[in-house]
């Protein structure tokens, strides 16, 4: 059976997003620049690995079909928490987080739908 292009596009978006988030989270965990920024901002040292590991776990759950929704909600929570940390410290450039969150929402809205697209009346 041939899959509609919209189903393929949503699956591609989900996998691309999940893998990019995993790679970026690993980079975040091991970044000395992030560690320096967090130290100057007086954020506890454990936040960097905890936030990164949580994001990796959420992304892995997001990639697994049966846990996609749980992973999606977890990713949204991580993105909101990260944006709040940025806002509190005067960094308002959170456009990347907003795009990631929007992509997660699209995948959650259409990922398990048979038509994988908006329904027309």
- Per-residue DSSP letters for 30-98? T-HHHHHHHHHTT--TTHHHHHHHHHHHHHHHHHSGGGHHHHHHHHHHHHHHHHHHHHHTT----HHHH
- Using one digit for the tens of pLDDT, what is the confidence trace for 17-30? 999 999 999 999 99
- Using one digit for the tens of pLDDT, what is the confidence trace for 88-115? 888 899 999 999 999 999 999 997 654 4
**Stated pTM of the model:** 0.85
């Amino acid at each position: 059976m041939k899959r509609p292009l919209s189903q393929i596009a949503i699956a591609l978006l989900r996998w691309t997003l999940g893998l990019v988030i995993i790679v970026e989270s690993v980079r975040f965990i091991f970044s000395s620049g992030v560690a320096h920024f967090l130290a100057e901002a007086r954020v506890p040292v454990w936040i960097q690995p905890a936030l990164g590991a949580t994001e990796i776990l959420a992304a892995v759950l997001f990639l697994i079909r049966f846990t996609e929704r749980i992973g999606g909600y977890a990713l949204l929570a991580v993105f909101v928490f990260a944006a709040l940390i940025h806002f509190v410290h005067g960094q308002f450039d959170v456009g990347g987080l907003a795009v990631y969150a929007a992509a997660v929402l699209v995948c959650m809205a259409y990922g398990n739908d048979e038509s994988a697209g908006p329904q027309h009346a």
